[in-house]
Amino acid sequence: MITHDVDEAILLADKVILMSNGPHAKIAEIVEITMPRNRTRAEMHHDPQFYRIRNHLVDFLVNRSKGYAGSDAAVLHDARHPPVVRPGLATDEPPPSDSTRPILKQVVNQ
């Protein structure tokens, strides 16, 4: 899914892929959404992780994305191995275990 709506990305995604600016855009960062499922638009803003994640995404879009467009970007950033960040977690929280992730079923059309 591609979206330009930060709240929609947090609501629907498990990961948000942030891209640099311009016609030669590259993956700059992968943000893991650590809020528990099932999120709803009406309730997700009550989770303390929501604003940490949202602020991180907006800060990238408004400020940090410009740094990936310059000629120094290749020196500062490896586009093949973008950083994976979890801004929703407080520093003393462990990362979510696989048991808290939704189990996806494979659907095969016959």
Number of domains in the chain: 1
Q: Let me know: does 34 contact 54? Beta carbons within 8 Å.
A: no
Q: Would you say residue 107 lies in a domain? A: no
Q: Would you say residue 108 lies in a domain? A: no
Q: Would you say residue 37 lies in a domain? A: yes
Strands 84-85 and 27-32: parallel
Q: Would you say residue 30 lies in a domain? A: yes
Residue with tokens 């407080």: 90
Q: Would you say residue 38 lies in a domain? A: yes
| pTM passes above 0.75 | no
What string of pLDDT tens digits covers the 110 residues of the chain?
788 899 999 999 999 999 888 787 888 899 999 999 889 999 999 999 999 999 999 999 898 887 776 655 556 667 778 889 999 887 655 555 555 445 545 555 55
Q: In what order do the strands lie in the sheet with 15-19?
A: 15-19, 27-32, 84-85
Q: Would you say residue 110 lies in a domain? A: no
Q: Which domain holds residue 44?
A: 6-100
